[in-house]
């Protein structure tokens, strides 16, 4: 893929269909995707390392997401992706560097949003109130009752939205097109803005699926806890982790399909040059 992009406009209905289409691809390739989700879950446990765990995971998240996108590309070629495809981008210095830079951008955006909220809150509370709020949840709740948070949330949300828009297509642009980082970020924002209507449809579908999942998870968790006690609660926690990672893979599939429709990408346009073995036909 060259660095001159023709951005298509798939529309509202196509946007609503990204998640169902991703689910259909997952149905056909469930076992390999389950293995990839399990490996991703294992890598995510790095967050338990004090201080550096969350930073390392934030840096690696775009790279791991790119691996999931490549897995869906392989499924589109009727090939079975190996679990290690999750780390495929690491083997290419160009992709690795660009995707790690996206991790830095994501962390910077999250930090900026947090600082905006903290500044907004600090401007409305005195020093004594802030100290008391940090020491007691009750004091924090009491302090927040007299504070207007709408403006702070609005500005912080706008910053996070801009960061997410810049990252959404930057990941596949770097993974499949080896685009320069800045070009990928700017092009991603442009594509999201142009296709705002498709993303409205996508968000509606996403909210509906999240609502349904929450209901199912609450029912299953309650049943297991009541029926099996502590063992049931432990099983429910494991199932919750599995569901969370599969949901993350589902979102990755939707991201791949959105990229394919908006940028005209087809499975296998650019073969991975690392010599992987995922060539079993489904």
User: What tens digit of pLDDT does each residue of 222-238 get?
Assistant: 998 888 888 888 888 88
pLDDT > 70? residue 87: yes
* Whole-number pLDDT of residue 132: 63
Percentage of residues of the chain with pLDDT beyond 90: 63
pLDDT > 50? residue 279: no
Q: Comparing 41-45, 130-134, 176-180, which segment has the lowest mean pLDDT? A: 130-134
* Whole-number pLDDT of residue 281: 36
User: Rounded mean pLDDT of the chain?
Assistant: 87
Residue ranges of domains in the chain: 15-108+172-263
Q: Comparing 133-137, 168-172, 265-269, which segment has the lowest mean pLDDT? A: 133-137
Q: Comparing 1-15, 129-143, 198-212, which segment has the lowest mean pLDDT? A: 129-143
In which band, very low, low, confident or very high, does the pLDDT at 92 lie, cut at 50, 70 and 90? very high
* Whole-number pLDDT of residue 225: 87
- Give the pLDDT mean for 106-133: 78
pLDDT > 50? residue 117: yes
* Whole-number pLDDT of residue 277: 41
State pTM to two decimals: 0.87
Percentage of residues of the chain with pLDDT beyond 70: 86
pLDDT > 70? residue 203: yes
What is each CA distance from 34 to 16, 81, 86, in whole angstroms? 24, 11, 12
């Amino acid at each position: 893929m060259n660095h001159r992009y023709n951005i298509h406009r798939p529309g509202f209905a196509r946007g609503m269909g990204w998640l169902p289409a991703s689910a259909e691809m997952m149905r056909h390739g469930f076992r390999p995707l389950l293995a990839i989700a399990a490996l991703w879950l294992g890598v995510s446990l790095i967050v338990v390392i004090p201080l550096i765990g969350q930073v390392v995971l934030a840096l690696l998240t775009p790279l791991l997401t790119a691996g999931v996108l490549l897995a869906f590309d392989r499924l589109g070629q009727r090939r079975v992706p190996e679990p290690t495809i999750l780390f495929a981008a690491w083997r290419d210095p160009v992709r690795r560097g660009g995707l790690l830079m996206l991790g830095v951008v994501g962390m910077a955006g999250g930090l900026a949003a947090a600082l905006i909220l903290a500044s907004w809150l600090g401007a409305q509370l005195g020093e004594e109130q802030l100290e008391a709020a940090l020491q007691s949840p009750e004091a924090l709740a009491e302090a927040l009752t007299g504070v207007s948070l709408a403006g702070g949330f609005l500005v912080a949300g706008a910053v996070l939205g801009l960061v997410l828009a810049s990252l959404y297509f930057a990941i596949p642009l770097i993974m499949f097109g080896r685009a320069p980082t800045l070009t990928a970020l700017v092009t991603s924002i442009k594509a999201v803005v142009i296709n705002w209507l498709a993303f409205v449809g996508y968000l509606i579908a996403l909210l509906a699926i999240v609502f349904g999942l929450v209901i199912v998870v609450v029912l299953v968790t309650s049943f297991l806890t009541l029926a099996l006690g502590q063992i049931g609660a432990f099983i429910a926690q494991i199932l919750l982790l599995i569901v969370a990672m599969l949901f993350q893979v589902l979102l990755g599939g939707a991201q791949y399909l959105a990229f394919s429709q908006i940028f005209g990408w087809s499975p296998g346009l650019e073969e991975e040059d690392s010599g992987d073995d995922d060539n079993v036909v489904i």
